[in-house]
Chain A
């Protein structure tokens, strides 16, 4: 039996001389690992190979519990502008990373696929990719049941005061009150009121184009979302953070 689906390439590894081992996030089958034999040959049924963040139409032979076999892939138009700017591309790879680490094999999640495809499409034209990525991460976390608690202490349910900096704990799942923060003993991330408001706004579904955060608030909100995403994956850390950090610290940064 051969199946057809549409997917986004979220991981790609070279496999033997000409084959590729791909992880797709698909509209119908969720995360899917598959091998594309001979993909890198120019006349293969995979058009010379597919790349990370390509949106593809895929025909595959399912191998339950094993590595699926891709019979044919064709790259569909879309996401093109992603590659024109480093910040867009990094945000796009952030989407791929969330899908790779935060979803499960062959567990359909059409709403997450639609969210990812829409986000990548918008990122291709975005002047503020960081905000788009934060909006994606917020909605993605909500879709997988990990939306942060922002109205009250995520640990005890008590009041987490508004209008002043507040602690944020990914382990607790949101903002924490002073007492719980002190009790945890750990150094917690601090959210300034504007960052908390931004997280609320994104959680309420406000489109990225309609929020105008300052740089520090965006950085804090993204860090909080990243902490939450980190709790999802099998991998202990999000390597993309290292890359972004280097860019921020680069003395040559514009």
Chain B
């Protein structure tokens, strides 16, 4: 069937998105075609805005529309507690919990000897500069609990320790809602090793440690 160039191009572009195959691209393209112009163009504007306005926060490397991201701009955040994450997505996930009131530092990846990602490929120097500038009491290493995430955390511990700052690692083990029966041996071993005291006053281990 003959189709217009613009529709063909739209389907080609949609087909490049993750999880979108030819059929899905066709369906979405037809849907956009059927939408009122204003609604379809709102999507186009949103995509354009994201690409034109979003940049790396000059302080933490997270996503920002101005110079600073919403977290770094928020004077109520505790700048003395600095959480190091691999990527901006991890920062977003942690923010969604509402459990962390400190600020972030986005590394831009994780160290990977096997893939040739070395410290100079990440924002390690910027992290050290932030800590050296003073005012940071604790650095929370929230890299992923993978071999490379662990290597990154252990490396950061090595370079941060001489600066006299408290360095902590996010807890690992069983996921909330999970079951012991279905957990893998490493998960269970982590859970056992990282067990915490249960208290009736409900104080969290992190709160007790501070």
Listed in ascending order, the chain A residues whose CB lies under 8 Å from chain B are 11, 16-17, 42-43, 47-48, 51-54, 74-77, 80, 82-83, 85-86, 89-90, 92-94, 96-97, 100, 239-240, 242-244, 246-247, 250, 252-254
Q: Which of B158-210 contact A (CB under 8 A)?
A: 158-163, 175, 178, 182-187, 189
Contacts across chains A and B counted by CB atoms under 8 Å = 91
Complex CA distance for A56 and B87, rounded to whole angstroms: 28
Asked whether, in the complex, the Cβ of A42 is within 8 Å of the Cβ of B178, the reply is: yes
Q: Is B36 an interface residue (CB 8 A)?
A: no
Size category of the binding interface on chain B: 35 or more
**Contacts A/B (CB < 8 Å), 15 sampled:** A16-B18, A47-B187, A51-B186, A52-B114, A53-B147, A77-B189, A86-B151, A86-B155, A86-B157, A90-B151, A239-B118, A240-B114, A250-B159, A252-B162, A254-B158
Name B118's contact: one of A11, A83, A242 (CB within 8 Å): A242
Of all chain B residues, the one with the shortest Cβ separation from A56 is B184
Of all chain A residues, the one with the shortest Cβ separation from B118 is A242
Q: Is B39 an interface residue (CB 8 A)?
A: no
Asked whether, in the complex, the Cβ of B116 is within 8 Å of the Cβ of A242, the reply is: yes
Asked whether, in the complex, the Cβ of A253 is within 8 Å of the Cβ of B158, the reply is: yes
What are the residues of chain B within 8 A of A51 when measuring CB–CB? 146-147, 186
Of all chain A residues, the one with the shortest Cβ separation from B120 is A246
What are the residues of chain A within 8 A of B148 when measuring CB–CB? 52
What are the residues of chain B within 8 A of A250 when measuring CB–CB? 158-159
What are the residues of chain A within 8 A of B178 when measuring CB–CB? 42
